[in-house]
Amino acid sequence: MPLLHPKKLLLTKWTAVKPIAKNKHFLVSRVIGPVPPELAIEWVELEAVYSGTVTRIRWRQLLDETLWCRGWQRASAVQP
């Protein structure tokens, strides 16, 4: 997977490999900036497309292909 920059994650689409609380498709709704701003971004908020539930994760977890696929994928495309 190509490298991601945390500042460019806002509004990107993701598919969970295993559903999280019956949700599979997510949108990065917020990139949480650090305090003080000189530090690196660590957290993002994902909003489930279907239910609207918000989940906070470390942005680097999105790089783990066993957990997330970039874009909205069909269930058959993300099954290992």
Residue 23 lies in a domain: yes
pLDDT in tens, 51-63: 999 999 999 999 9
Give the CATH number, domain containing residue 30: 2.40.10
pLDDT at 75: 64
Q: Which domain, by its residues, includes 46?
A: 6-70
**Does residue 75 lie within any of the structural domains?**
no
CA distance 65 to 36: 31
In a domain, 1, yes or no: no
Residue type for position 7: K
Instruction: Count the Cβ atoms, other than its own, within 10 Å of residue 30.
Output: 15
Domain-embedded: residue 77: no
With respect to residue 28, please indicate whether it lies within any of the assigned structural domains.
yes
Q: Which regions of 33-76 does DSSP assign to beta strands (E)?
A: 43-48, 54-58, 68-70
Check pLDDT > 90 for residue 78: no
The strand order across the sheet containing 43-48 reads 54-58, 43-48, 23-32, 13-20, 68-70
Asked, for residue 45, whether it belongs to a domain, the answer is yes
